[in-house]
Amino acid sequence: MPCMNWLDDVKWDAQGLVPVIAQEADTGDVLMFAWMNREALQKTAELKRAVYFSRSRAKLWFKGEESGHIQTVHDIRLDCDNDVVLLKVTQLGHKPGIACHTGRHSCFYQRYDDGQWQTAEPVLKAPETIYKT
């Protein structure tokens, strides 16, 4: 079993969480932002699969557990202040990969343009066909 001291290097917030950015390894696209607690980061490193912490459900969230849109993790990085994690991932389950619960490639699909937010990426698959109700 690997030493867990590396987890102590992370600056966890008051709720024991750290922000995480998932970036597509091949394209460099920023796919999503989420949170991890210590257990989620440890499991992500062990499984080479993205595991986040859902604040709304107060539990671990294995990315793709409902949608099938799993993220295989190639690289885990920590920023210079030790308070943000970057995952370099391959988004599985649909081509092109869907990371967003809205059925889009990226959660960052809205672009500011001339005083308003414009939708910049199409829905690749309707959310109601992805998730169980």
Q: Is residue 61 part of a domain?
A: yes
Domain with 99 in it: what CATH number?
3.10.20.810
Residue 44 resides in a domain = yes
Q: Give the per-residue pLDDT at 95.
A: 73
* pTM of the predicted protein model: 0.87
Please choose, from the candidates 118, 116, 119, 124, the residue with its C-alpha nearest in 3D space to the C-alpha of residue 100: 124
Reported as a single tens digit per residue, the pLDDT across 40-57 is 999 999 999 999 999 999
Would you give the distance in Å from CA 87 to the centre of its chain? 8
- Contact between 96 and 103 under an 8 Å Cβ cutoff? The reply is no
Say if 106 falls within a structural domain: yes
Whether residue 129 is contained in a domain is answered as no
Q: Is 33 within a domain?
A: yes
The pLDDT of residue 96 is 74
Share of the chain above pLDDT 90, in %: 74
pLDDT given for residue 32 in this prediction: 95
78: in domain = yes
Domain that holds residue 73: 14-124
Kindly state whether residue 1 falls inside one of the protein's structural domains: no
Mean pLDDT, residues 126-130 taken together: 84
State pLDDT tens for residues 9-36. 999 999 999 999 999 999 999 999 999 9
Q: Is the pLDDT of residue 39 over 70?
A: yes
For residue 45, count CB atoms less than 10 angstroms from its CB and return exposed for 0-12, middle for 13-18, buried for 19 or more: middle
Residue 107's alpha-carbon distances to 45, 51, 82, 103, 111, in angstroms, are: 23, 17, 24, 9, 11
Asked if the structure places residue 96 within a domain, the reply is: yes
Q: Output the CA–CA distances (angstroms, integers) from residue 8 to 32, 74, 82, 117, in the order listed.
A: 24, 21, 10, 39
CB atoms within 10 A of CB 20: 21
Alpha-carbon span 67 to 97, nearest angstrom: 12
Tally of structural domains, the chain: 1
